[in-house]
Amino acid sequence: MLDRSSLTNGTFLNAFRDVPGLTLWSEERLESSMQEMLAKRPPGQPVWIFAYGSLIWNPLFHFVESCQGVLEGWRRSFCMRLIAGRGCVKRPGRMMSLAPGGSTQGLALRMDEANLETELRIVWRREMLSGSYLPQWAPVHLFDGRTVLAIIFSANPSCPLHEEDDRVETVLPLIATASGPLGSNRDYVLKLSDALQELGLQDPYIDELSQQLQVVA
């Protein structure tokens, strides 16, 4: 179960400890990574998280402002082999990340300074479970005209689960059949497609993938 409780009490992390081929980060390493990011925080600036996947419809952490925006230089990519959560070792799926090139429309979520580290820790336990992402600060152009620096989670090419080929024809059969304790890989894509449509956001890659998944269902 992916919820606030499982992320704060360690249940979510412990649920993946016995998955073959998945090396989990310790609480100490997660904390160190988070603090390193905060140390690079632009002075006097609020902390924003750029949501481009399930953080859009199921963020789980508390925030005080949400604004649609675009991240230039990065595109959505199903470039990580998924062997836990919505996939398994015998029938792996694909997890989404950000790969260089193009642009990504999503949501920028501003965190509350009063409980910043508590809420950011929830994000880290969720996104940095095995170090598959590279967190970094990047400019996001909000649709209201502002430009903010936000934390993004991009693909980590050095991760053993990283896959270079993220073409629709490659990932489609994997996503169509993969499932795990958190549900099916297919449902993730369809939920993302619905969420983007509800917000009026566009992504041709997700559109094509979701359309193809509905055809093969």
The answer to whether the Cα torsion of 15, 110, 40, 118 is positive or negative is negative
Residue with tokens 């998924």: 82
Q: Under 8 Å CB-to-CB from 83, ≥6 apart: which residues?
A: 19, 20, 21, 22, 89, 92, 161
CA distance 126 to 120: 10
Active-site residue flag, 127: yes
Distance of CA 139 to the CA centre of its chain: 17
Q: Strand, coil or helix: what is 75?
A: strand
Candidates 127, 163, 169, 208; catalytic one:
127
CA distance 63 to 201: 20
Q: Strand, coil or helix: what is 184?
A: strand
As annotated, the active-site residues are 127
